[in-house]
């Protein structure tokens, strides 16, 4: 009997391709071929990768052509298919925003009443406008949305933004974020038991990789009389590990801190008397 495989839909090329392949690699899943094939089997984990256009992924997952997919939350919301969002993946971060000409008369969302908005996200935009009780006409275009106001096609745009430089070069300013997005793992709603087991095992690895990315290992030397105040700054997984150094009166302290607290905590550690602080990336973290 051949073992069942979990079919994973990944964007064939574009902004999510690298992040998706990198995540699978960090999960220890070998994918031998590049993206020149539609379908690739892993050599060491029961998954098959399907390379597709991102817009098609929600529908293919709904229809069980693929079992799960890596796709932007923006595409999930826009396509509105029957899929389950299982996990945020931490890459492909962006926001869907409303933007208007920088020096024009429009200043806020309420000014959009009766105006024309160009977007590739008519479904999300319509829901947002309805909720805010604003009636604008939505002009759907598939690309180069940012030039619409300049060529007189629309008064405002609703488009994805990451660095903001596209808006800047087109003399547009953001007035409202409609959706914060990142790549997510979506799943078909009726996976077989054996596919659920493979998915659980994949999720276990994804969570370990993501957790490790959000944390750093800290190693430092502390004079024993400052240990207490230094340890208070370090939450660690349970509590910091403290080992005596060969030099009398000094200890080595090992702990884990989260990426978001990083700079703040490092400065405080230094101020509290810590020396020889080493910050080491963590490869995987299993709690
Ligand atoms: O061919 P296919 O249909 O698969 O790809 P695509 O061209 O539709 O999508 P692609 O590869 O451009 O984007 C895939 C996904 O990446 C999107 O659905 C988002 O989830 C995510 N993502 C993250 C982005 C951006 N950041 C992003 N900045 N998608 C698009 N952009 C565009 C945006 O539309 C605008 O034109 O980049 C420009 C703005 O970028 P900044 O940095 O100048 O603000
Ligand atoms: Zn697309």
The phi, psi pair for 276, rounded to 5°, reads 55, 50
Contact predicate 69/58, CB 8 Å: yes
Helix%, strand%, coil% for the chain, nearest 5: 30, 30, 35
- Is the C-beta atom of 162 inside 6 A of ligand 1? yes
pLDDT of residue 33: 62
270 C-alpha to center of ligand 2: Å?
Answer: 48
Contact predicate 83/58, CB 8 Å: yes
Residue nearest to atom 6 of ligand 1 (CA): 14
pLDDT of residue 34: 59
Ligand nearest to the CA of 20: 1
Pairing of β 116-119 and β 156-161: parallel
72 C-alpha to center of ligand 2: Å?
Answer: 10
99 C-alpha to center of ligand 1: Å?
Answer: 16
Name the one residue in this structure whose structure tokens are 């810590």.
274
Tell me what percent of the residues of the chain surpass a pLDDT of 90.
90
**Of ligand 1's atoms, which has the minimum distance to the CA of residue 17?**
11
**Of ligand 1's atoms, which has the minimum distance to the CA of residue 12?**
4
pLDDT of residue 157: 98
Contact predicate 106/156, CB 8 Å: yes
Other beta carbons within 10 angstroms of residue 214's beta carbon come to 12
- Is the C-beta atom of 56 inside 6 A of ligand 1? no
Contact predicate 183/92, CB 8 Å: yes
32 C-alpha to center of ligand 1: Å?
Answer: 26
274 C-alpha to center of ligand 2: Å?
Answer: 50
Q: What tens-digit pLDDT sequence spans the chain (287 residues)?
A: 567 999 999 999 999 999 999 999 999 999 976 557 889 999 999 999 999 999 999 999 999 999 999 999 999 999 999 999 999 999 999 999 999 999 999 999 999 999 999 999 999 999 999 999 999 999 999 999 999 999 999 999 999 999 999 999 999 999 999 999 999 999 999 999 999 999 999 999 999 999 999 999 999 999 999 999 999 998 766 778 999 999 999 999 999 999 888 888 999 999 999 999 999 999 999 97
């Amino acid at each position: 009997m051949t073992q069942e495989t979990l079919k994973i839909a990944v964007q064939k090329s574009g902004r999510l391709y690298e992040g998706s392949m990198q995540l699978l690699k960090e999960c220890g899943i070998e994918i031998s071929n590049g993206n020149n094939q539609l379908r690739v089997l892993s050599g060491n984990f029961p998954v098959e990768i399907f390379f597709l256009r991102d817009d098609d992924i929600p529908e293919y997952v709904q229809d069980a052509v693929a079992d799960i997919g890596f796709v932007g939350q923006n595409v999930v919301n826009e396509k509105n298919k029957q899929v389950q969002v299982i996990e945020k993946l931490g890459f492909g971060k962006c926001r869907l925003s409303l933007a208007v000409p920088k020096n024009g008369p429009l200043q806020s969302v309420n000014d959009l009443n009766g105006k024309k908005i160009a977007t590739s996200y008519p479904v999300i935009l319509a829901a947002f406008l309805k909720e805010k009780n604003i009636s604008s006409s939505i002009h759907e275009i598939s690309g180069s949305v940012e030039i619409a106001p300049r060529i007189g096609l629309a008064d405002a745009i609703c488009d994805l933004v990451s660095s903001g430089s596209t808006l800047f070069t087109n003399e547009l300013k953001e007035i409202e974020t409609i959706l914060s997005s990142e790549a997510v793992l979506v799943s078909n709603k009726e996976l077989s038991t054996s596919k659920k087991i493979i998915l659980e095992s994949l999720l276990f690895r994804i969570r370990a990789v993501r957790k490790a990315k959000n944390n750093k290992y800290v190693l430092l030397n502390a004079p024993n009389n400052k240990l207490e105040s230094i340890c208070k700054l370090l939450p660690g997984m349970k509590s910091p590990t403290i080992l005596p150094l060969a030099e009398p009166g000094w200890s080595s302290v090992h702990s884990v801190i989260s990426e978001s607290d990083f700079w703040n905590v490092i400065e405080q550690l230094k101020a509290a008397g810590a020396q020889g602080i080493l910050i080491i990336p963590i490869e995987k973290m299993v709690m």
